[in-house]
């Protein structure tokens, strides 16, 4: 639990918060709510994967209200390739890469390794991020994710069984909404998941200090189905990779997601990484294909065995399905 100072130590914070509250509380009293900018612009564009990945091509999709989301498509060339739809966390960008402390890392190596393993990939920047139209509109965050899903469906000729959804942090809210709306991808992998019901308030408490704690109950939550409600009844293959600790998922909510996944018979792995490091592990560090056909990190961090086995099994099933299709065509 995150604790905040009280008594003497709290007085300087209270003096800082007072003018903020004086301005905001009348608005709250009028029945309004506050919006937290959860999707944040990635600050650098020097690591764009365009032109640096063999076979990478720009791709775009229009949202229902006419905004254009831009990203990249990476094709493996494998005839039986599954398509990975990457639903990015905040502060991760196709154009700007991922924050790794004192530097940024590109998404290119990760996309290239999936390509080498026979997976296609498609990834878009959220509205207001990278080359996508802006500004960011928090209320449309999930609907923008639905546009990304539609684009992925078009790439596989409407066969959602050829899509693997790989979602991290805020991207898991989109994945949850997809499942709630009846989408049935071949597989879903959730990295450092958060809850739509609480992530905005938790973020306000963590980043906003004392004032954030006072205002958190009035923060407007992002639209989207909550994982705790979705996971118990969700069908299909879902792997949940939980962070060991997270400011966006307190202990009780961490346990709630784990319990919801287990009730739905979905495997759960509690990793040794905190929230940011798990996101970095998933998108920023280069991964290598092993002799057994799986994946491991080149970062020096211990490989997540369950993740490695999961993608190996997906690839094997895709190959078996393609082989069966070819055999059936040969009989005709």
Domain boundaries, the chain: 33-288
pLDDT of residue 296: 52
**CA-to-CA distance for 142 and 255, rounded, in angstroms?**
25
To which H or E segment does residue 278 belong? helix 275-283
Q: Domain 33-288, CATH 2.40.340.10 — does that match?
A: no
Report DSSP state, residue 95.
Answer: T
Residue 72, C-beta contacts closer than 8 angstroms, at least 6 positions apart: 49, 50, 53, 56, 57, 58, 59, 94, 111, 121, 122, 123
> Euclidean distance between the first and final Cα of the chain, in Å?
64
Burial (Cβ within 10 Å: 0-12, 13-18, ≥19) of residue 21: middle
Pairing assessment for the beta strands 56-62 and 68-74 based on DSSP bridges: antiparallel
Average pLDDT per 10 consecutive residues for the chain, totaling 332 residues: 33 42 37 44 48 76 94 90 94 82 78 87 91 83 94 97 95 94 96 81 59 52 82 94 86 93 95 87 65 53 76 81 46 46
**CA-to-CA distance for 175 and 197, rounded, in angstroms?**
14
For the beta carbon of residue 259, count every other beta carbon within 10 angstroms. 14
**CA-to-CA distance for 254 and 261, rounded, in angstroms?**
11
Report if pTM > 0.75. yes
- Cis peptide upstream of residue 135 (ω within 30 degrees of 0): yes
**CA-to-CA distance for 188 and 203, rounded, in angstroms?**
25
Q: Which residues of 223-249 are buried (b: 16+ CB within 10 A; e: fewer)?
A: ebbbbbebbeebebbbbbbbbeebebb
pLDDT of residue 297: 52
């Amino acid at each position: 639990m995150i604790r905040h100072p009280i008594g003497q130590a709290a007085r300087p914070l209270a003096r800082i918060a007072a003018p903020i509250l004086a301005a905001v509380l009348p608005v709250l009293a009028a029945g309004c709510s506050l919006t937290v900018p959860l999707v944040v612009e990635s600050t650098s564009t020097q690591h764009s994967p365009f032109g640096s990945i063999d076979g990478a091509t720009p791709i775009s999709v229009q949202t229902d209200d006419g905004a254009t989301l831009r990203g990249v498509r990476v094709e493996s060339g494998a005839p039986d390739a599954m398509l990975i739809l990457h639903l990015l966390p905040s502060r991760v960008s196709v154009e700007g890469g991922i924050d790794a402390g004192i530097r940024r890392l590109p998404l290119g190596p990760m996309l290239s390794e999936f390509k080498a393993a026979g997976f296609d990939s498609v990834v878009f920047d959220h509205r207001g991020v990278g080359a996508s139209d802006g500004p960011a509109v928090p209320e449309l965050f999930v609907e923008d994710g639905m546009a990304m899903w539609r684009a992925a469906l078009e790439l596989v000729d409407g066969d959602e069984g050829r899509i693997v959804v790989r979602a991290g942090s805020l991207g898991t809210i989109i994945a949850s909404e997809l499942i709630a709306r009846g989408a049935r991808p071949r597989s879903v992998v959730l990295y450092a998941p958060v809850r739509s019901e609480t992530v905005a308030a938790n973020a306000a408490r963590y980043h906003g200090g004392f004032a954030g704690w006072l205002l958190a109950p009035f923060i407007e939550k992002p639209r989207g189905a909550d994982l705790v409600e979705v996971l118990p009844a969700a069908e299909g293959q879902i792997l949940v990779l939980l962070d060991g600790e997270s400011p966006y998922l307190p202990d009780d909510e961490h346990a709630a997601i784990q319990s919801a996944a287990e009730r739905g018979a979905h495997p759960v792995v509690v990793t040794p990484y905190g929230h940011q490091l798990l996101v970095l592990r998933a998108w920023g560090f280069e991964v290598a294909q092993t002799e057994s056909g799986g994946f491991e990190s080149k970062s020096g961090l211990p490989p997540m065995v369950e993740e490695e086995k999961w993608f190996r099994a997906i690839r094997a099933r895709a190959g078996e399905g393609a082989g069966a299709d070819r055999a059936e065509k040969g009989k005709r």
